[in-house]
Amino acid sequence: MSKPTQSVIITGTGSYTPAKVLTNDEMAKIVDTSDEWISSRTGIKERRISHVSTATLASLAAKRALAAADLDPRELDLIIMGTACPDTLIPNSGSMVQDSIGATNAAVFDLNAACTGFVYGLSVGTAMIRSGAMKKVLVIGADRIPYFLDYTMRDVAVLFGDGAGAVILEADDEESGMIAERLGCDGDARGILTARDAGTVRERFSGIDGYYDINFEGPEIFKRAVRGMGEAVNDVLSKSGVAAEDIDLLVPHQANVRIIETLMKRLKAPEEKVVVNIQKYGNTSAATVPIALCEALEEGRVKPGDHILTAAFGAGLTWGAALIKWGDRVTPLRECEDDLPPSNQTALELLKPWIDGCREAVAQKAKAE
């Protein structure tokens, strides 16, 4: 294996998960389900619901990552905002983050690879630094998928939560950082996981305001996810020359505990080497991997020189994996004291306008048919 021309290491991590918790029992008040039905099929016990925008979530995660790296935001050369839920189509959400954190010298773009967005961003950010074009890059994964959901569809409504995570990438002389990565997409299967009318394909003024037509084919998504992530993982291990048993920590996308368990079996990875937090947050889309990585660091599960393997899949169907050799430092250089203003609404109260709107929209569609 040829050595990369430039090592690129993660010098800071940060995440934010909203304070408002929506439990499975509360979800049962929305759709015909139960805690047992959800947890046995997905591993999810609760999820978080945000009262602020995607960019606001992302900005706080970014500030925490900057503090951990002890980096002035004006030193950033680039911000990559991995999201499928931008606050506005024009301008991009990354520009809002840039303004919020004071990264006045950074170039910015949004990257939409759905749940694989952070892994894609990690690869792109690393490549930009290795090319010599950039020195310090902020990569964010942030999403608010609950905003788009149809709250009459049990199989989909129970899965997702809000959140954001971020890392700082910097050039370094350490022989650490990303060792290998593999990105891919099964575009022929893009229709099995889609908001079919959430873009310019939506005929203006003809639909029901606020309602999104969601298609979610669970069994096929499961099959494709396992295959895509499995292929990506095998490829990065082959490229790196690192054996599966030498992986110190697996940080998988938190979509479904059964998918995680299938990946664990393929790698013969014991539970103590796998980060699983889906029970607390549900699927936070592009945010799952950086949130899980942050928690692993906070819990002392990452040691200097550890080999960390991450894998994800998302709508598209995008998929990818990355193998990282961790650097010498596993503790933050500084803490961020910032937080978000509280909300006096419960998670259910925050969702109520969307729940009521979905029910009305489905009733209107049924009448029209």
pLDDT digits (tens, 9 = 90+) for 235-276: 999 999 999 999 999 999 999 999 999 999 999 999 999 999
368 against 97, higher pLDDT: 97
Indicate the pTM of the whole model. 0.96
Tell me, what's the pLDDT at 334?
A: 97
CB-based burial, 31-63: b 16+ in 10 Å, e otherwise = bebebebbbebbbbbbbbbbbbbbbbbbbbbbb
Confidence of residue 129 (pLDDT cuts 50, 70, 90): very high
Structure confidence by residue, pLDDT tens digits, 169-198: 999 988 899 999 999 999 999 999 998 888
Distance CA 211, CA 208 (A): 6
Are 169 and 65 in contact by the 8 Å Cβ rule? The answer is no
The yes-or-no verdict on residue 205 having pLDDT over 50 is yes
Looking at every residue in the chain, the average pLDDT score rounds to: 95
Q: The dihedral of CA 66, 69, 75, 76: what is its sign? A: negative
Closest C-alpha to 93, from 54, 124, 119, 137: 54
The yes-or-no verdict on residue 1 having pLDDT over 60 is no
Tell me, what's the pLDDT at 200?
A: 84
CA dihedral 227, 274, 128, 285 (to 10 degrees): 70
Tell me, what's the pLDDT at 2?
A: 47
Structure confidence by residue, pLDDT tens digits, 78-124: 999 999 999 999 999 999 999 999 999 999 999 999 999 999 999 99
Which of 51, 85, 92, 253 is an active site residue? Answer: 253
Average pLDDT over residues 325-346: 96
Closest C-alpha to 4, from 129, 148, 189, 170: 129
3-state secondary structure of 249: strand
Are 123 and 266 in contact by the 8 Å Cβ rule? The answer is no
Distance CA 353, CA 345 (A): 12
3-state secondary structure of 137: strand
Q: Is 115 a catalytic residue?
A: yes
Are 130 and 5 in contact by the 8 Å Cβ rule? The answer is yes
Radius of gyration of the chain (CA): 20
Average pLDDT over residues 36-50: 98
Which of 24, 256, 277, 283 is an active site residue? Answer: 283
Confidence of residue 199 (pLDDT cuts 50, 70, 90): confident
Structure confidence by residue, pLDDT tens digits, 286-330: 999 999 999 999 999 999 999 999 999 999 999 999 999 999 999
The residue count for the chain = 369
Which of 115, 185, 294, 336 is an active site residue? Answer: 115
The yes-or-no verdict on residue 203 having pLDDT over 90 is no
Q: What is the CATH number of domain 8-368?
A: 3.40.47.10
Q: The dihedral of CA 194, 199, 204, 209: what is its sign? A: positive
